[in-house]
Structure 1
Amino acid sequence: MPKESRSGEPNHIQRFGAPVTEKLDARRRRSPDFAAEIEALHVLTRALNVSDTEMLQTLVDIALKLCNAGSAGISLRERNARQPQTFRWVALAGQCAGLVGHLLQSDDSPAAVTLELGSPQLFAFPKRQFDCLAIVTPEVTEELVVPVPGTPEPWGALWVMAHDEHLHFDSEHRRILTSLANFTCAALTIKQAKADAEARAEDAEAARNALSAVEAHQVDFIATLGHELRNPLAPIDTALAAAQKLAAGNAAVLSALAVANRQVRQLKRLVSDLLDTSRIRHGKLSVRPAIGLLGDIVKDAMAAVTEEAERRQQQLHVTLPAYPVTVFADAARLTQVVSNLLSNAVKYTPTGGEITLRVDAPDPGTIPEDDSTLREAIITLRDNGMGIAPDVLPHIFDMFAQSPSARTRAQGGLGVGLSVVRYLVNAHRGEIAVRSEGEGTGTEVTVRLPIVCRTQLEHAAATTHGISPARILLVDDNADATEALAMLLTLDGHEVKRAQTGLEALSIVESFMPDIALIDINMPGMDGHELARLLREREQCSSTRLVALSGYAWATSDPAAGESGFDCHLIKPPSLEDLADVLRGLPDH
């Protein structure tokens, strides 16, 4: 707890003058660059597997770039030093880069003031207040400092400096820096936990338990990142869908929107892969088999990659059995398996390359009526792309595994997709194998699944998402997300009301009786669960279908979900298909 002076102000403020932090919110906030932040996440995730020095340097390089600063750095406490407020500049970027390792012997530093105040602080011309900055050149016009949290005490501080009087930091820079500081905390905690586990290596059981806890912390942290990234992706995705409806007939605009859509799909896939790793860890990534047609599953997977393959002028050949093949499998998860493998083939095959997909399966009509044994379907995918090096091939299914050549590609992914694919194949009691003669020789993937059954079905007819107009209440503290989704639903003919807080939603339902309410669970103040309970108590909402929205994978499959007052749960951002399914469940009105 900060030590207060007699006047009620922390000691540092009386000695060095108060920061000018209030200016952050007074200044015009710059527009967020979510694409740059997604790419930063990509880089930071990889940095978890390198040394502390490289990982911290990656962090400050990203802080420098995202904040457009002149200098950036991390000040960590010297935990073994005699003076508790001694800091060392462990990683620097920009014009201060040559000062790495500089030790601040006293507590007269921006980091000390920031930690004592316990929140991000902005300092104007800090060299005039702190003697420890005298070695910094050129002049520092502003310094934004945020604490790096930790237990039992903060690790230190992350900061950016401006050396140009025309550069001013704002609340958007504070948000970015705070997010990076939280990542720094998690990364340092993971590194410390691993170091502690290795130090206790003599006790093998204790070491295994510690490493397991580290892995759980890492997966949970990645899931949290995925949740946070869904917030900006949701309004972007729905706004693009609305823009496409509004731009119907304008070829130039639709062409530009198509480019944006491809990039958003790539970002959504990265986030979905991250969330699936969390679902696996929590045992929530399950399969729900049902009777279906293998041909429909493959065609759905093909639809997800055909546009990209055509853009790359690749030859995509598919061979299916001449007869309908009935399977007992989770169609959605099996589509995910095939589309992921196809996407990898498209991604790592050069322009003009060739990709072949072959499905071999017995004719269900030849299976005796009294034989319930599931027969095997074999899916073989070959490409003449970049191939896989022999030393990488044994680890291809490991989490975050990638070859060095794959890391250099702009769309290299996070290296978690094949890990999820193997999990889903195993969940279907199947096997997957990957073969390659080396880099530049192409790749062959074989998936064997015991899913073919006798039951015969006709191919499903094309469906539409046409649904009757409904009264919809959107409740989310993210204004951009609700605005974009409201526009899209309104264009489809629904009557939509929006609220950013639970109290605002309760006020709206006094005069508006929604058929369905989409409610964000994690709102400040009154959260989604409390709002759902209060809506249930109102007679005008007795028939309202309450749908919870959450970015966390495990929240949507919680066995106690029915006790929360919601009729169902959806992951943010909800797809149009998910919303259509929920709306179709409404009674005719």
Structure 2
Amino acid sequence: MSDSDAVNRVQRAGTLVTEEFDARRRRAPDFAAENEALHGLAQTLNAADGVMLQTLVDTALKLCNAGSAGISLRERDASLPHTFRWVALSGHCADLVGHLLPPDNSPAGVTLQLGSPQLFAFPKRQFDCLAPITHEVTEELVVPVPGTPEPWGALWVMSYDEHLHFDSEHRRILTSLANFTCAALTIRQAKADAEARAEEAEAARNALAVVEAHQVDFIATLGHELRNPLGPIDSALAAAQKLAAGNPSVLSALALANRQVRQLKRLVSDLLDASRIRHGKLSVRHAYGLLGDIVKDAMAAVTDEAERRHQQLQVTLPEYPVTVFADAARLTQVVSNLLSNAVKYTPSGGEIRLRVDAPDPNTIPAHDSTPRDAIVTLRDNGMGIAPGMLPHVFDMFAQSPSARTRSDGGLGIGLSVVRYLVNAHRGEIAVVSEGEGNGTEVTVRLPIVCRSQLDHAAATTHGMSPARILLVDDNADATEALAMLLTLDGHEVRRAQSGPEALSIVESFTPDIALIDINMPGMDGHELARRLREHAQCSSTRLVALTGYAGTMPDSTAIESGFDHRLIKPPSLEDLAYVLRG
């Protein structure tokens, strides 16, 4: 039977019911569950193939609430051209791993013939290859696993419950997992090819470099997809906390949600920072500031968690103000990341000590511009680091076995980013531990201390004077949440979901700043920026390009389109304050 014959047969039989997706009510997304799944999947990228594929189908089974889940891959054996094999299964048919299916008369074959996700009703009645499944299958959702030059196969879930129907949200989740499967299989194949050419050392090194690039780029894509919903959630929570002032019970619930969102944001930020490092886009902005303010801001990020764990957190700062020339935000990220690791891996009641040593800037001769060293030393009596792991603590995605078992263990990216930022400040970082159970000591040496330029402590908040702001983004949830937060902070905000709508708004509203999404359908952000520059009333408007992908648009490209700045979505209030200050 040919592919087209199989498609026509199931269509005539009423087995192919993909159009029902549009008529079914879509369930609400569960981004927290997806982020947890991402965490688990990311940790399997370097595991054995069987572990990675099994984790994928287990994830599909759980997120889709299915009865069975599996991956059907094309056989590479020349004697079985295009035949499918069930290589990983979960649920009721888990004992059928290795089952072969024909290339045409099977759900995977029909799906790949049609080239898009398909929904089948009672597929066992039309496909003899499903006969080994003992249960009656009421529905099967099948999604192609893309590949080059041809698809790898298909990812599918089955329902045995006549009351459980798959909807478009299940299709979105399964499509995302299928894309992950493609990337993981591509990485696996690239690694296999590199190993096969082991005798050609240079070729093998190049192949592994390509694998790493695919991995980092793919994880950056996942980070972007997660950051899109996190932006409006974070803005909405901040707005809700302002609106709920005076209501302790509501504020308590919002505080719990906010802590979880902060954890999600940190994971996503680590993913995006990894991509920015890969593309050379993780930059630093040097300015004069006070070292004490940097440390205090970093402390504020971990104090609540340390108190919740009943840990003793001691900080020793110089008695005199220390002026530094550095990127305060990035150094705060360095110190808070180190403190967060110490809090995370120190048991309840443990001790964490942070000490900062630096020369008094007033003792530096006026004619001497050589930066002096600031030394940050952090000691804890936590779980420590095994000797074999110590040389790899700064490697991307490196984690000890004990860290992988923790629900808050992170993705193994943070210290790699920390080392990059320390090096960007021409500094050095060292990690010392006498082994597991014996605590850890981290020393950061930074040549950033300069002669005093400040007469008093710099403000640690990032407030903005009220401004007229135009938000342009086709994502309605993102603009609504950010607009609500900015309005509560005293700004006058207008929203547009397309370029033409934005041009209509500026006829009667002159913004001080316009935040414009680059990737909009129809009139994209580049064209809108050029059109706004043609309006006389927008001559002093600061145009800010918003992009969700780190490294995809050079700053020079944004400037050529008429933009003054470029920010990663979603922009923080600190980013906006920086832009308004010019």
Query: Which residue does 2:109 correspond to in 1?
Result: 112
* Residue of structure 1 in register with 2:213 after alignment: 216
Task: Tell me by how many angstroms 1:507 deviates.
Answer: 4.1
1:324 aligns with 2:321: yes
2:499 to 502, 509, 523: 502
Change (3 A) 1:321 1:557: farther
Cα 1:275–1:69, aligned 2, differ >3 Å: closer, same or farther?
same
Which residue of the other structure, out of 189, 194, 198, is the alignment partner of 2:191? 194
Distance verdict in 2 for CA 1:22–1:182, change over 3 Å: same
The 3 A distance-change label for structure 1 pair 452 and 227 is same
Relative to structure 1, the CA distance from residue 542 to residue 450 in structure 2 (aligned partners, 3 Å threshold; closer, same or farther) is closer
Q: How many residues align?
A: 581
Q: Tell me, yes or no, if the aligned pair for 1:387 and 1:439 is still in contact at 8 Å.
A: yes
Q: Distance in 2 between matches of 1:140 and 1:511?
A: 59
Q: Paired residue for 2:174, among 173, 177, 193?
A: 177
Given the alignment, which residue of 563, 566, 576 partners 2:563?
Answer: 566
Q: Percent identity?
A: 84
> Which deviates more, 65-74 or 540-549?
540-549
CA contact (8 A) 1:296 1:459 kept: no
Q: What 5-or-longer segments of structure 1 have no aligned partner?
A: none
Cα deviation for residue 262 of structure 1 reads 1.1
Match of 1:242 among 226, 239, 255: 239
Give the C-alpha shift of residue 459 in structure 1.
Answer: 3.5
1:229 aligns with 2:222: no
Deviations 1:468-491 (A, max 9, x none): 544433222222212211222222
Report the secondary structure of 1:526's partner residue.
Answer: coil
- For the structure 1 residues 485 and 75, does the alpha-carbon distance in structure 2 shift closer, same or farther, using more than 3 Å as the test? same
Q: Secondary structure at the match of 1:22?
A: helix
Deviation at 1:285, TM superposition (A): 1.7
Q: Which residue matches 1:354?
A: 351
**Structure 1 match to 2:20:** 23
Residues 1:142 and 2:143 aligned together: no
- For the residues of structure 1 that align with 2:517 and 2:343, how far apart are their CA atoms? 36
Shift of 1:15: 7.2
1:372-387 aligned within 5 A: 372-387=369-384
The answer to whether the Cα contact below 8 Å between 2:322 and 2:452 also exists between their aligned partners in 1 is no
Q: For the Cα contact (< 8 Å) 1:475–1:501, is it kept in 2?
A: yes
The alpha carbon displacement at 1:465 in A equals 5.2
SS in 1 for 2:43: helix
Aligned partner (choices 469, 474, 478) of residue 471 of structure 2: 474
Aligned to 2:266: 269
1:167 aligned partner, one-letter code? L
Alpha-carbon distance between aligned partners in 2 of 1:507 and 1:125, rounded to the nearest angstrom: 52
Counterpart-to-counterpart distance in 1, 2:263 and 2:47: 25
Q: 1:326 to 1:506 in 2, by over 3 A?
A: closer
Counterparts of 2:533 and 2:158, CA distance in 1 = 51
1:444-470 alpha-carbon deviations (Å, 9 max, x no partner) = 111112222233423424365554544
Is 74-83 or 413-422 further displaced after alignment?
74-83
Judge conservation of contact 2:233–2:481 (CA < 8 Å) in 1. yes
Q: Which amino acid aligns with 1:487?
A: M
> How do residues 306-325 of structure 1 correspond to structure 2 at under 5 angstroms?
306-325=303-322
Contact 1:83 1:106 in 2 (8 A): no
- Partner SS state of residue 237, structure 1: helix
Q: Structure 2: how far apart are the matches of 1:423 and 1:177?
A: 35
How far apart in 1 are the matches of 2:206 and 2:561? 33
Residue from 91, 98, 102 that aligns with 1:101: 98
Give the Cα separation in 2 of the matches to 1:501 and 1:23. Answer: 30
- Matched with 1:37 is 34
Cα drift, residue 45 of structure 1: 0.8
Shift in CA distance, 74/262, structure 1 to aligned 2, threshold 3 Å: same
* Cα deviations by residue, 1:246-295 (Å, 9 ceiling, x for unpaired): 10001111111111111111111111111111111111223333332221
Aligned partner of 1:136: which letter?
Answer: I
Among residues 459, 472, 488, which one is paired with 1:491 in the alignment?
488
In 1, the alpha carbon distance for the partners of 2:119 and 2:301 equals 47
Hey, what's the Cα distance between the residues in 2 that align with 1:451 and 1:472?
A: 36
Q: What TM-score, normalized to structure 1?
A: 0.94
Measure, in 2, the Cα distance between the counterparts of 1:367 and 1:541: 47
Contact 2:555/2:566 (8 A) holds in 1: no
C-alpha contact 2:353 2:378 (8 A) present in aligned 1: yes
Contact 1:85 1:112 in 2 (8 A): no
SS at match of 1:165: coil
Alpha-carbon distance in 1 for matches of 2:190, 2:437:
40
What residue number does 2:419 align with? 422
> Aligned partners of 1:295 and 1:256: how far apart in 2?
32
With normalisation by structure 2, the TM-score equals: 0.95
Identify which of 74, 89, 94 aligns with 1:77.
Answer: 74
Q: What is the letter of the counterpart of residue 35 of structure 1?
A: A
1:363 and 2:384 are equivalent in the alignment = no
Partners of 2:472 and 2:479 within 8 A in 1: yes
Letter in 1 for 2:288: I
